[in-house]
Structures are given as C-alpha cells and as structure tokens.
Structure 1
C-alpha cells in the first residue's frame, strides 16, 4: 500500500483525524489482526472524535467565557447555599433543551459569574452555543449598533445563541432606550433559547431597578417565570483566597 500518497490525500480532504489514525495503524505491527471493516471503523471514529473536539473548541472560543470553569470543579464544602442536587440536574442541560433560564444571585465574590460560566461551559461540551457578556457592555453595544446600522444583525446573532450569560444584572441604571433594547433581546429568546443572569440584587428588587413598571413587567415575565433560581450566600471567595495567600506567605 502506498501510505504517503494516501495520507496526503486524506490531509487534502481535511480528514486529519483519519490521517493520524492511519499513521498510527501503520506503526502498529499487529494491526493486521483486525479486519478491514474494523480498521476502517477505527479511522472513522478518530475522525469523528477530532471533529467533535474542534467544534467544541470553536464553541468555547466564540463563547468568550470570563472564567475557564467546569461544574466538576465545584467545591461543595464551602457553605454558599449551593444545592448539589440542582447543580447535577442542570449539568444534564435539559434546561437548555427546554429553553429555560437560570438566575444566580448573591453578594459580590461568592462565585456567581464562575457558576454561570461553568454552566455555559457544560452546555458547550454538550453541543450548544454560548456567549458571555456583561449587561452594561451589551447595552453599549446595542446603542453603537444602532448608529452603524448593525442593530438588527446584533439582535439576530444574540437570538441564535443557545445560552446567553447576562452578567452583573442591576448594576447600571437603565435608560428608556436600554429598557426597550433589553426587552427586544429577551423577547427574541423567550421560549426559544436559554438565558443566565447574575446579580448582586435579590430578584425581588429587579423590578424597581429596571425603572418603568410596564416594561419591567414585560422584561421579567420573559426572564424570571421560567427560570431556575440559585441564591448564593457567604463570604467572598476572593477574600477567602486572599486570607489563604496571606497565611501561606506568613508561614
């Protein structure tokens, strides 16, 4: 068999997984013990695995998650009000399939953004797309998009994301324009995609922060009523890490 021309052709066809598997088989003396179908199956499996890995890497890159966080790394020893059973249920990503939301509240530093990124990371591993954005930045981007004629395109792109993280909900005072833009984003996603919102404010205070009562009702109706709610509590994890670092340094 002319292996080099075959490898070149596989690379030309962008079948890099099959090419790598064929090279491995060529270096395995007892590979001839397998039938043609078995060897071909190994080549196809390798190609599928590499393609899946490339797609996942691409999804994670486009998601621009703030933290490289995975649910398996959660430390439940810290008392933060985190329900292990709920987290394990969310890890199955059925909530994404059913287009439900997740709302994560709690004081600063308790791991809200980290948990949101971990949930989005798991969704990416399961084949869904995700995107992280701070709400303040999203509002600016939407305003700019109106000026350069990209508003509809931006809304369309946001509507396509399977899991959209809106971080730091409630930190900025929303203008009338912001409220309308936020309603547009959530209306496009309601019942079609999933949204994760994180906030230092209790959900009960979100209505007042939005400002306009009518628009607040419409916005929260599309976000809160079909959502899992996680309220974290406890001391800031950043403060705990700082204490640990100080202790280690003093020793």
Structure 2
C-alpha cells in the first residue's frame, strides 16, 4: 500500500481527520484483516470526530464563556437547591432547540455563572452557537456602539446566536437607554433563539429592576419569563468552602 501519496492527497483535500485515521490504521497489524468498506468507515469516523471537535472549539472561542465549566463536573451534593433532574434535562440542549429561555437566580457565590457556562459549553458541543456577555459590560458596549455607528451590527450579532447568555443582571435599575437596549435584544430573540439570564435578584423583583416605564417592563418580561425554565439557587457562597475560583 502506498501510504505517503495517499496521506498527501487526503491532506491536500483538507481531510485531515481521515489522514490521521489512515495513518493510525496503517500502523495497526489487526487492520490487515479489515475489508475496504470497514477501512473507509473507520477513517470516515475519524474525519467526522475531527470536524466536530474543531467546530466545538471554534464555537467555544466565539462564545467567550467566562468559566471553563462542564456539565460533567457539576456538584449536585452542594447544599444550594439545584434540581439534578432538571439540570440534566437542560444539559440535553433541547430547550435551546425549542427556543425556550432559562433563568438562574440566587445569592452571590452559589454558582450561577458557572452553571450558565457549563450549559454554554454543552451547547457548543451540540454544535449550537453561543454568546456570553456580562450585562454591565454589554450595556457599556451597546452605548459605545451607538455613538460610533456599530449599534445595529452589534444587535444583529446578538440576535444570530442560538443561545445568548446574559450574566449578572442587576440589582441596579436600568436607565432609559438600557431599557430600550434590553427590549431590542429580547424582541430580536423572541421565538428565534434562547436567553439564559443569571441574577442575584429574584424573578418577581425584575419588574422594578427594569425601570419606571411599565409598558417596557411588561413587553420585556412577557417575552422572557413566560416560556422559561427556572433554577432558583439558595444557600451560602461556595467560595467559602472551596479554594478554587470556580463556583461549581
């Protein structure tokens, strides 16, 4: 078998996973017993796996998630009221495909951001586009974009993601411009993509946190809350009992 010309052709075609699989199989004595169809199937599996891994890495890089979290590392033993069955259901990412929302609330340090990032990483592995933003910095970015002509483009980028994570909302009331920004984000995503919002403020207090315009608060919350799953965490900060910065 002429191995090197075949490897060169596979690399030239951009089939790097198949080339890696071809090389690995060629070095395995047991491969001599395989038929042509079995060889092809195995090296195709290598190509598919390689491409899936690269897509996941690209999506994770684009998402800019705050924590390198994983759903496999979630600690369900911590006394914070995390529903294991619900979280594992959310980890399938079906709620994102169904364009539903998720609201994670609880006091500081109980793992809201970490859990959000864990679900964000899982979504990347499921080949779903994700964007992560801390709310204060997002509003600052939108304010800057409004002044330099990038506002519409930034809103479009937020709308394109299958999952938009808005981390650490509140407790300050929104300004008039921030209210309109949030309405634009929510309106663009309504029945088109999923929102994951984390906050120290209970959902029942979000109406007051949005601001003084009742019609805006009604419009925003109606689109966010009505189809949302909720995780309400309780308890003391996990940082008090752990030495790592991640609050899993």
Say whether the fold is shared (TM-score over 0.5): yes
Contact 2:62 2:131 (8 Å CA) reproduced:
yes
Residue 204 (structure 1) shift:
1.1
Q: Deviations over 1:36-68 (max 9, x none)?
A: 111111111111110011101111111111111
Residue 14 (structure 1) shift:
1.3
Residue 8 (structure 1) shift:
1.3
Q: Deviations over 1:164-210 (max 9, x none)?
A: 11011113432111111110011000111110101111111111111
Rounded Cα–Cα distance in structure 2 between residues aligned with 1:31 and 1:109: 53
* Residue pairs, 1:28-177, within 5 angstroms: 28-177=28-177
Q: Deviations over 1:61-107 (max 9, x none)?
A: 11111111112212122221111111111112111111011101111
Rounded Cα–Cα distance in structure 2 between residues aligned with 1:4 and 1:121: 37
Residue 30 (structure 1) shift:
3.2
Residue 3 (structure 1) shift:
1.9
Residue 29 (structure 1) shift:
2.5
Match of 1:249 in 2: none
Secondary structure, counterpart of 2:224 in structure 1: coil
Secondary structure, counterpart of 1:75 in structure 2: coil
Secondary structure, counterpart of 2:241 in structure 1: helix
Rounded Cα–Cα distance in structure 1 between residues aligned with 2:11 and 2:171: 51
Match of 1:247 in 2: none
Rounded Cα–Cα distance in structure 1 between residues aligned with 2:29 and 2:168: 58
Rounded Cα–Cα distance in structure 1 between residues aligned with 2:9 and 2:171: 56
Answer with 1-10 or 79-88: which moved more. Answer: 1-10
Rounded Cα–Cα distance in structure 1 between residues aligned with 2:158 and 2:165: 11
Contact 2:173 2:208 (8 Å CA) reproduced:
no
Match of 2:21 in 1: 21
TM-score (norm 2): 0.94
RMSD of aligned Cα (Å): 1.4
Rounded Cα–Cα distance in structure 1 between residues aligned with 2:26 and 2:157: 45
Match of 1:238 in 2: 239
Secondary structure, counterpart of 1:81 in structure 2: coil
Unaligned stretches of 5+ in structure 1? 245-251
Rounded Cα–Cα distance in structure 1 between residues aligned with 2:31 and 2:70: 38
Residue 33 (structure 1) shift:
1.1
Contact 1:136 1:172 (8 Å CA) reproduced:
no
* In the alignment, structure 1 residue 228 sits paired with structure 2 residue 229: yes
Instruction: Name segments (4+ residues, structure 1) moved above 4 Å.
Output: none
Answer with 192-201 or 27-36: which moved more. Answer: 27-36
Rounded Cα–Cα distance in structure 1 between residues aligned with 2:2 and 2:85: 56
